[in-house]
Amino acid sequence: MNHKTLTTTLIIAFSITAAAQRTMVVTDAETGVPIRDVQIFVNGDDNNRIVTDYKGEFIVPDTAGNLTLCHRKYEKRLMDDKEFADTISLLPNYNRLNELVVKGKSPKINMNIMAATKMAALTAPHPKTLATFDFFDIFTAKKRKKTRKRIEAIKDY
C-alpha cells in the first residue's frame, strides 16, 4: 500500500512540474503601476501570443526560452529565460514620435509679389508722436545747466 501511494504521489508531482507555469507582472519602470494589454510573444512566434490582464499579470509556460514584450506607450523589450523575474518593468517612450510624411510643392514666389510687398512696407504710414516725456531728460537738463556754468567759468578764467 505504501509503495502505491508513493508512486501516485511521484506521478502527480511530476505531472505538475511538467506542466508548470509561471505567473509574472508587467509594471511601469517609473511608477511601478501594472500595465494592461501588453502583448507578449513567446519564443519570437507571432502565433504564440499572450496579453496581460487588467492587473498586468500573465502566465508563461516553462517551455518559453525568450519573451518579447510590446506596448504602444512603452519601449519594446526582449528577454531571455535567464532574465525572467516575477516583475518585469517597461520604460515609457516619451521621445518617440509617430511617422509623419509631408508631400507637396513649394510655392513659387513671383518677383511682382515681392516688389509689391516691399513697396507696401515702404509706403506704410509711420505713427507720429504728439508729445513725449522722458523722465531721465529732467536729470540731463540739470547736468547740461551745470556744464554750461562750468564752461563759462573756464572762459572767464
1-43 residue pLDDT tens: 566 665 666 555 555 554 567 888 999 988 889 999 999 898 8
Q: Are 31 and 92 in contact (CB under 8 A)?
A: no
Residue 65: HSE in the Cβ half-sphere, 13 Å Cα cutoff: 3
What CATH fold (topology level) applies to the domain 22-90?
Immunoglobulin-like (2.60.40)
The answer, yes or no, to whether residue 157 has pLDDT greater than 90, is no
- The pTM assigned to this predicted structure is 0.48
Those residues whose C-beta lies under 8 Å from the C-beta of residue 61, and which sit 6 or more positions away, are 21, 22, 42
| pLDDT tens track for 56-97 | 999 888 888 888 999 988 989 898 888 888 899 998 887 666
Say whether pLDDT at 115 is over 80. no
